[in-house]
Amino acid sequence: MNETKKIPIVTKVLDANSRIANEIRHLFQHKNILAINLISSPGSGKTTFLETVLPILSRHKIRCGVIAADIATTRDADRLSKFEIPVLQITTETFGGACHLEAAPVRQALEVFPLDKVDLLFIENVGNLVCPAEFDIGEALRIVFLSVTEGEDKPLKYPLAFHVADCAVITKIDLIEHLKFSKQKLYDSIRKINPKLVCFEVSCFQSIGIDQFVGWLLQQHSNKSELLKHEHEHVHSAHEHKHSH
């Protein structure tokens, strides 16, 4: 191996977040849990989406759990508590009000989370399209949400979130007729950042695109053993990108 290739590896080993994230990843491997990090700006519809897909996944006999992260409230966990699945809220206020999840609070949450009761764990990150994209939390998949009301240029403005995602869910598609929103421009933006990104257009209010998404997710779940073997291939690029705070 030549010298130039060694440097990023050393950086990664020394990076505390990556180290904890890898511990978490090994825990998920050991427990055979597919963990999915949900990233978006506030209000793009992550919790509503979970409220929509959780009952469907339960009918497919997938045992789900949710860790929801918020700066100050437990509102999302409260909304999800009706499903009788393990739900835990992290309020980052305790960790200095961070605008994103880091691996350390996730590891702490996992110490008390009933991991033996879940096959699939959704981790709803703090609403923010910038910082959450930079932190590996040991997940196997990342989903970025973008509601049509946010505008079709957001993938270009927040490239990292789209670059590190495995799937994009375009939400509130029922509102598109009220907006000047060009799907063509959206997909042009997405393709510039991440040509392979799997995209779904959904409306939770009108049940559009939900079955297609669930189909994809079930496929990922059945391929879990393969997904859990890999380190997140985007970890590196995320950490090369300097955190601005």
Ligand X SMILES: Nc1nc2c(ncn2[C@@H]2O[C@H](COP(=O)(O)OP(=O)(O)O)[C@@H](O)[C@H]2O)c(=O)[nH]1
Interacting residue ranges for Mg ion, rule: CB under 5 A: 46-47, 76
- Beta-bridged to residue 68, according to DSSP, are 89, 124
67 binds ligand X (CB under 6 A): no
Q: How far apart are CA 224 and CA 138, in angstroms?
A: 14
Binder to ligand X among 88, 204, 227, 228 (CB under 6 A)? 204
209 binds ligand X (CB under 6 A): no
- In the complex, the smallest distance separating the C-beta of residue 124 from ligand X, rounded to whole angstroms, is 7
Q: How far is CA 195 from the centre of its chain?
A: 19
Beta carbons of 89 and 65 less than 8 angstroms apart: no
- In the complex, the smallest distance separating the C-beta of residue 2 from ligand X, rounded to whole angstroms, is 44
Give which of 223, 39, 203 is closest to 136, Cα–Cα: 39
Q: Which does 40 bind (CB under 5 to 8 A by kind): Mg ion, ligand X, none?
A: ligand X
Q: How far apart are CA 184 and CA 80, in angstroms?
A: 34
Q: Which does 37 bind (CB under 5 to 8 A by kind): ligand X, Mg ion, none?
A: none
Q: How far apart are CA 178 and CA 219, in angstroms?
A: 34
Q: How many CA atoms lie within 13 A of 166 on its CB side?
A: 17
Choices 18-26, 38-46, 109-117, 217-225; region in contact with ligand X by CB under 6 A: 38-46
Which 160-179 residues touch ligand X, going by CB under 6 A? Answer: 171-172, 174-175
- Of 204 and 227, the one with the shorter C-beta distance to ligand X is 204
- Of 156 and 176, the one with the shorter C-beta distance to ligand X is 176
Q: Which residues contact 241 (CB under 8 A, 6 or more apart)?
A: 134, 160
Q: Which two tokens stand for residue 131?
A: 């910082």
In the complex, residue closest to Mg ion by CB: 47
45 binds ligand X (CB under 6 A): yes
Q: How far apart are CA 119 and CA 70, in angstroms?
A: 23
Q: Which does 45 bind (CB under 5 to 8 A by kind): ligand X, Mg ion, none?
A: ligand X
Q: Which does 152 bind (CB under 5 to 8 A by kind): Mg ion, ligand X, none?
A: none
Q: Which two tokens stand for residue 47?
A: 């919790």
- Of 23 and 174, the one with the shorter C-beta distance to ligand X is 174
Binder to ligand X among 15, 31, 43, 185 (CB under 6 A)? 43
Q: Which does 175 bind (CB under 5 to 8 A by kind): Mg ion, ligand X, none?
A: ligand X
Q: How far apart are CA 231 and CA 139, in angstroms?
A: 9
CB-based burial label for 100 (10 Å; 0-12, 13-18, 19+): buried
Residue ranges in contact with ligand X by CB under 6 A: 40, 42-48, 127, 171-172, 174-175, 203-205
